[in-house]
Amino acid sequence: MADDKAKEAPQKTRHADPATIKCRVHRTNCAQTNEMIPITVNAVGRVNGKKVFVPKSLVTLTQAQVNNLKDAREDIEILLAEDSAVYQNANPVQAAQALYPGYRIIKDPVTGFITAVKEVPNYIVVYDS
């Protein structure tokens, strides 16, 4: 009879953790005084998906957590002043691109102002072998 109860109520199986990655995470765009503040990363939909760790330390993360860190980006925008010589050029967008080569140049169709935009990652993930 005890054997029947064991068959009726199957044991809960624990699923193995998804593939984990050993890595070091560095902040890229913060003040030097904030550089060592702990990083918190979440993996949505996972039990115990939150991880808090000190930057530059060896840490084990899931692929979802690594993806979240890689996707964390910030836009740096530079609005060119109205009196800038760029606007005097025959092709101001091309002149702005020459002035800011790594940036995406956007010209507002209504005001005519030019903005240089660059996407910068917040974190760099260095994989440990």
Residue carrying structure tokens 């199986």: 13
Domain boundaries, the chain: 18-127
Model pLDDT for residues 24-66, shown as the tens digit of each residue: 999 987 788 888 899 989 876 666 678 889 999 999 888 888 9
Model pLDDT for residues 66-114, shown as the tens digit of each residue: 999 999 999 999 999 988 899 999 999 999 999 999 999 999 999 999 9
Torsion of CA 39, 42, 46, 47, to 10 degrees: 50
Higher pLDDT, 7 or 19: 19
Q: What is the value of pTM for the model shown?
A: 0.66
Residue carrying structure tokens 């939909």: 45
Between CA 53 and CA 63, with CA 58 as vertex, the angle to 5 degrees is 80
Binning pLDDT at 50, 70 and 90, where does residue 14 land?
very low
